[in-house]
Amino acid sequence: VKLPDGRTVWRIEGKQRRKVEAERVASGADHPPLPAWISKDALEEPAPSRPLAPSRLPPEDI
pLDDT of residue 39: 59
pLDDT of residue 5: 74
Q: Is the dihedral of CA 10, 12, 15, 21 positive or negative?
A: negative
Q: What is the domain partition of the chain in residue ranges?
A: 1-44
Concatenated DSSP letters for 20-34? HHHHHHHHTTTSPPP
- Successive 10-residue mean pLDDT values, the chain, 62 residues: 67 59 62 60 58 62 58
Contacts of 24 (CB under 8 A, 6+ apart): 30
Indicate the average pLDDT of the chain: 61
